[in-house]
Structure 1
Amino acid sequence: MRAARLYRYDPEMREELKLEQVPDPEIRHPNEVIVRIVAAGLCRTDLHIIEGVWREILDPAGTLLPYTPGHENTGIVEAVGSAVTAVKPGDRVICHPLKSCGVCLACRMGEDMYCTNGRFPGLDSDGGFAEYLVTNERALVKLPEEVDLVEVAPLADAGLTAYRAAKRAARLVPPDGWAVVIGIGGLGHLALQVLRVLSAARLVAVDIAPQALERAKELGADYVLPGGPELVAQVRELTGGGAHVVLDFVGERGVEQQGWQMLRKGGTHLIIGYGGRLEIPTVQMIFQEMAVAGSLVGNYRELSELMDLAARGLVRVYVQRYRLEEINRAIDDFKHGRYFGRAVIVP
């Protein structure tokens, strides 16, 4: 089969993925499933992997490369192991990003992303920038015919991450409260839609790109603000003292320092984007009684809930399609912000 392979980490992002022929995958365990890839989303994490940001976590021994990235995958079940009963060849599926074990305490509690024995295709093993992917039965959510496999591919990770954070925010903000979404890009535009569905809060969308702010209006934002040094003051004035929840999908370039400063007392700063460093005076933490928390992808149940919203047309993904042989152009377009939403690789 064809696969796009990473051979070298490169902080300067000059390294290109190499499209080559590799052996077709084989089922080695009774619960495994081979999926013929229909679509694989391109995520900023893929860029961070190429840059080597994740190297110390994923590949400390330097033995992972070469391998195939791609962790937002949809496709058609091609073959199943002898113990698989939930899916069969021909089923249309989206893949939860983690191959979880199902028997550790985290799995039994329903938090797949905390699995102590899990593998993450596309991060620590071969992923979906290829014609086929090996995953396991537990990772698959079956999809109805009316769901476009290309359009929902980014929901496997970007959408799931946005959904988990927005669902958490919806529980924290009262109906007459304020939620601020910083970064209306590949994740933020999804979180905005989920918040519109799950809460009655007043939604403020923040971005530096005029196109993103226009999209935010279309997707249900009550107010839009351009990012910049005056943002904190603008939010505090607009909200009458600060937001109940801030969802930060940027997490770097100084934006991470703005989120907590625009909270009202008792507010929560949810960090989803990453790359920067957060510094908060402890006295502010105490007297504002604020909470700062990270948000990590999402579990299987949340992916199933998100797929239901997508099937009912309540969540829409803006996608830009690329063929597998165009993957390096897709990466370059991503780096330079040449499209809105998410890139999807279609083998």
Structure 2
Amino acid sequence: MRAVQLGAYDKSPELTEVPDPTVTGPLDVIVRIGGAGVCRTDLHIIEGQWAEKSGVTLPYTLGHENAGWVQETGSAVTHVSPGDKVILHPMATCGLCMACRAGDDVHCTDSVFPGINADGGFADLLKTNARAVVKLDDSLEPADVAALADAGLTAYHAVRKASRRLRPGHRVVVIGAGGLGHIGVQALAALTAAEIIVVDRSEGALALAAEIGADHTVPADGTQVAAVQELTGGEGAEVVIDFVGEGGAIEDGVAMLRRAGDYHVIGYGGELRVPTIDVISTEINFIGNLVGSYTDLVELMALAARGEVTLHTTAYPLTDHARALTDLDRGEVRGRAILIP
């Protein structure tokens, strides 16, 4: 089969021929890929930022946002059959550790993360396990929802946590309305009655945010903190959800937060530097967000099937993987880039 593999860090991945994956265990599932999301994490992987953390042996196949059709299953798989449309939770988890038993499978102590520390879905076929497979509603197509497997799942996970705090009349600031942020805006509109304020430097991203549920859009032109303060009566927002996490977004976000507010960190690359006395005196909370759980993904697919969360995508053939990565790096992708074999 064809696969886009990273052979060396700081080098462009290459499309090559590799052996097809095979079923070797009773819970194995082999999926024919219908769409694979191209994520900024893929750029960080290529740059070598994940080399030490993942411990992966090169070469290996990229791609951790995957959906497609079941091709083959192990003998113990009962909830899906060959031909079923599915989306894959990015982690293949054990189901036996305490985190899995508590439903917090994102923190599984014996997991595999295809596209991060194992072969991923920039390929014709992908091997995962039954615990990662979510059957899709008939109304959904793999290429249309593939990036919801990580980008959408991460955004939904953060919003679901934030929604516990948000009440009618509250305000929530979303920093960054790009690939993750535009999903977060829709999830906020679906799960909460809070007033949604979106901050972004892109006019296109702000226009999209206004279409999909934002109550206010604020250009990141140097006046964004003052604008948010004005929109919140000088108090700041109850919740800030930061999908950027670098380039001044953190400092701006903290300044947009009200006393006893919650700051959700999703984007990364920068550093959080806040005097401890400021944390104590205002009782603000900083909350990290990784990818969501299997049940988060099931809930997100329910919203997608109802049309309450729609992924805006730009499709590229698998053979055009280099252009997709370049466009993403240059900020030229509207929504999410999807590779289609």
Counterpart position of 2:136: 143
Counterpart position of 2:48: 52
In structure 2, how many angstroms separate the alpha carbons of the residues matched to 1:154 and 1:64?
25
1:95 to partner: Cα distance: 0.3
1:87 to partner: Cα distance: 1.3
Counterpart position of 1:272: 266
Matched, 1:100 2:96: no
The TM-score, its normalising length taken from structure 1, stands at: 0.96
In structure 1, how many angstroms separate the alpha carbons of the residues matched to 2:279 and 2:165?
18
Listed one character per residue, the Cα deviations across residues 23-68 of structure 1 (whole Å, up to 9, x for unaligned) are: 0111121111100101000111111101111112012xxx611000
Counterpart position of 1:128: 121
Instruction: Select 2:80's aligned residue among 80, 87, 101.
Output: 87
Instruction: Select 2:222's aligned residue among 229, 234, 258.
Output: 229
Superposition pairs of residues 226-305 of structure 1, within 5 angstroms: 226-240=219-233, 241-305=235-299
Superposition pairs of residues 171-190 of structure 1, within 5 angstroms: 171-190=164-183
Superposition pairs of residues 18-57 of structure 1, within 5 angstroms: 18-57=14-53
Counterpart position of 1:192: 185
In structure 1, how many angstroms separate the alpha carbons of the residues matched to 2:81 and 2:39?
28
Counterpart position of 2:318: 324
In structure 1, how many angstroms separate the alpha carbons of the residues matched to 2:216 and 2:203?
13
Unpaired runs of 5+ in structure 1?
Answer: none
- Matching residue's letter, 1:178: R
Share of identical aligned residues, percent? 52
Counterpart position of 2:208: 215
1:167 to partner: Cα distance: 1.2
1:83 to partner: Cα distance: 1.6
Query: Which has the higher mean CA deviation after the structures are superposed, 155-164 or 25-34?
Result: 25-34
**Alpha-carbon RMSD:** 0.9
Whether the aligned pair in 2 keeps the contact of 1:31 and 1:84 (CA below 8 Å) is: yes
Whether the aligned pair in 2 keeps the contact of 1:260 and 1:292 (CA below 8 Å) is: no
Counterpart position of 2:146: 153
In structure 2, how many angstroms separate the alpha carbons of the residues matched to 1:176 and 1:242?
13
Instruction: Select 1:72's aligned residue among 47, 65, 89.
Output: 65
In structure 2, how many angstroms separate the alpha carbons of the residues matched to 1:145 and 1:325?
28
In structure 1, how many angstroms separate the alpha carbons of the residues matched to 2:159 and 2:329?
26
1:223 to partner: Cα distance: 0.5
In structure 2, how many angstroms separate the alpha carbons of the residues matched to 1:301 and 1:201?
24
Whether the aligned pair in 2 keeps the contact of 1:30 and 1:83 (CA below 8 Å) is: yes
Whether the aligned pair in 2 keeps the contact of 1:320 and 1:339 (CA below 8 Å) is: yes
